[in-house]
Amino acid sequence: MASAEKLTALYTQAGERLLQLIRSLEAGSYSRRRKEQILKQIDEILADLTNGAAQSMSEVLADAYRAGSQEAVSSMVVQGMAENQLNPSVQSIVHQQAVQAIMDDTFFRILEATDNMSQDAKRRVEEVVRTATEQLLTEGLSRREATKEAVARMTEQGITGIVAKNGARIPADKYMNGVVQYNLRKAHVTGAENTIVQNGLDLVYVNYVGITCEYCAKYQGRVYSISGNDARFPKLEIRPPYHAHCVHSISAWIEEYQTPDEVKRMFSASNRPFTDNRTEANIQRYNEIQRDKARKNETRKQWMRYKAVLPNDMPDLRRFARLKASGGQAYKELQELYRKANVINKRTGLPKNPILIKRYGENVIRIREQILSKGLVWNEGKLDDHLLKRKKRKHIPEDWTTTDYESKIKEIVSNLDSEMYRYSKPEFKQDTFVFGDGELWIVMVEDDGLMTTSFPFKSEQKYRNYLNVDGGYNYMGTVKEVYEIEG
């Protein structure tokens, strides 16, 4: 079942993946082909995001609408209406159209955010290439230094979800969190209102929240007439939610079940001026709560960043907040784990490619399991030739035997954190798959399981430069990610 939190997390994760794509330019390789591939991957990431967000949003909106309807029924029963007099159904065309209308508006916001994310991410890729080239020519920096500096500037802030009227760029996850919260509350209120009208009632009560903002204070704690036909009460023209994180809702207000004093009190409260009537103490308390919420929201955003990088190692949000507040060893270990994972992600440069994994993951799993269960397969005499070549080039110690060499290869293939690349060119009769340790060593195996070669580079930079798109190497993900998606 989808949840609002998980839905927002989709945007955090997509934003992280887009930033990782931009960071992949740090190696200094930004040929036209490389850039086009990155732009294509941006489109693929955002297409997956749009589909996932739309499906999840449809589910949570329907749940919120039903919850609002059920609460409206409960409020009628509590006030004194007999259950057998009520019509609680949400199956009519009115309800279906109401949910669809909210979903249509929300989907527009999803498309708007996705479009802005696409423009922003692609703009940053272009900007990295442009500024790096300028610095390369005018400041005498090396290609790698110039690119690294440009990438650092282009990845300081989250990917834009909306550009505000004042020109401020609001990160996608923050923007969509507001969109989700607002529309869930709107679905809840609409479900309640339509159920109230369905049962022949016209008067509704907007709940009173003692500590609230200046805008909500003007509208809360009143009875309204939905139709406007009851002149004793104001017409319900402005409905909750009044803003993105509004907690106000409506419930049925049935006059015949109220005491005369309550009717008199509500008539007075409902017809007071539409102004902020909060006390100074309430205003001060509200500001304190907002500051506390800001701190908690920062913790939530931190948790979501950590969750995007460490999906299998993170506790739930509540436990994470407790660990952070205590500042103990457990929190420090999480920080260190996140730091190391980020280093690995930056080293790797590219995020996993689900499309490549789905297409070639079976091949990787087949090759790997064949090597681990049956051993390595070489063309006749090639193992001995390789061993001599690696010693001559000082890739391996002089005293290594074929057993030592093959043990190193199996170590890399068996490691779930090893990187996977598909190596392919038009002239190849079959694909070659590359297992890399992420630093120096690579293992190359043809699609039929036959060993091609295995050797280390002198540095990680040479390892990265070798495994590039222009050379025909396409990053798939770690071995673990291949198994998670395909296995």
Q: Does 2 score more than 60 pLDDT?
A: no
Average pLDDT for 153-158:
82
pLDDT recorded at residue 310:
72
Tell which wins on pLDDT, 468 or 242.
242
Are 452 and 445 in contact by the 8 Å Cβ rule? The answer is: yes
Average pLDDT for 162-177:
86
Residue 377 binned pLDDT confidence (cut-offs 50, 70, 90): very high
Q: Does 61 score more than 50 pLDDT?
A: yes
Q: Does 255 score more than 70 pLDDT?
A: yes
Query: What confidence tens digit (pLDDT) does each residue in 203-238 have?
Result: 999 999 888 999 999 999 999 999 999 999 999 999
| DSSP sequence for 393-417 | TTSS-TT--HHHHHHHHHHHHH-TT
As a whole number of angstroms, the distance between CA 5 and CA 388 comes to 57
Tell which wins on pLDDT, 91 or 280.
280
Query: What confidence tens digit (pLDDT) does each residue in 17-34 have?
Result: 898 888 888 766 667 788
Q: Does 347 score more than 60 pLDDT?
A: no
Least confident interval from 207-216, 415-424, 431-440, 465-474: 465-474
Query: What confidence tens digit (pLDDT) does each residue in 290-334 have?
Result: 888 777 777 877 787 777 667 677 888 888 888 888 888 888 888
Query: What confidence tens digit (pLDDT) does each residue in 402-428 have?
Result: 999 999 999 999 999 899 999 988 778
Q: Does 175 score more than 80 pLDDT?
A: yes
Instruction: Report the Cα 412 to chain-centroid distance in Å.
Output: 31
As a whole number of angstroms, the distance between CA 444 and CA 382 comes to 14
Q: Does 73 score more than 80 pLDDT?
A: yes
The dihedral sign for the CA sequence 81, 83, 84, 85? positive
Tokens 């990155």, residue located: 38
Which phi and psi (to 5°) does residue 183 adopt?
-75, -30
Q: Does 148 score more than 80 pLDDT?
A: no
pLDDT recorded at residue 30:
67
List for the chain the helix, strand, coil content (%; round to 5).
60, 10, 30
How does 22-56 read in b/e, with b if 16+ C-beta sit within 10 Å? bbbbbbbbbeeebbebbeebbeebbeebbebbeeb
Q: What percent of the chain has pLDDT over 70?
A: 93
As a whole number of angstroms, the distance between CA 147 and CA 477 comes to 24
As a whole number of angstroms, the distance between CA 487 and CA 484 comes to 6
Average pLDDT for 30-42:
83
pLDDT recorded at residue 210:
82
pLDDT recorded at residue 341:
64
Report the mean per-residue pLDDT for the chain. 87
Residue 1 binned pLDDT confidence (cut-offs 50, 70, 90): very low
pLDDT recorded at residue 108:
93
Q: Does 256 score more than 90 pLDDT?
A: yes
The SS3 assignment for 474 reads strand
Average pLDDT for 340-364:
72
pLDDT recorded at residue 445:
96
pLDDT recorded at residue 342:
60
As a whole number of angstroms, the distance between CA 95 and CA 192 comes to 10
Average pLDDT for 274-280:
92
As a whole number of angstroms, the distance between CA 157 and CA 151 comes to 11
pLDDT recorded at residue 380:
86
Average pLDDT for 98-115:
93
As a whole number of angstroms, the distance between CA 221 and CA 261 comes to 16
Give 443's strand partners.
Answer: 435, 454
As a whole number of angstroms, the distance between CA 331 and CA 314 comes to 11
Q: Does 248 score more than 90 pLDDT?
A: yes
Average pLDDT for 77-91:
89
pLDDT recorded at residue 378:
92
| DSSP sequence for 285-343 | HHHHHHHHHHHHHHHHHHHHHHHHH-TTT---HHHHHHHHHHT-HHHHHHHHHHHHHHH
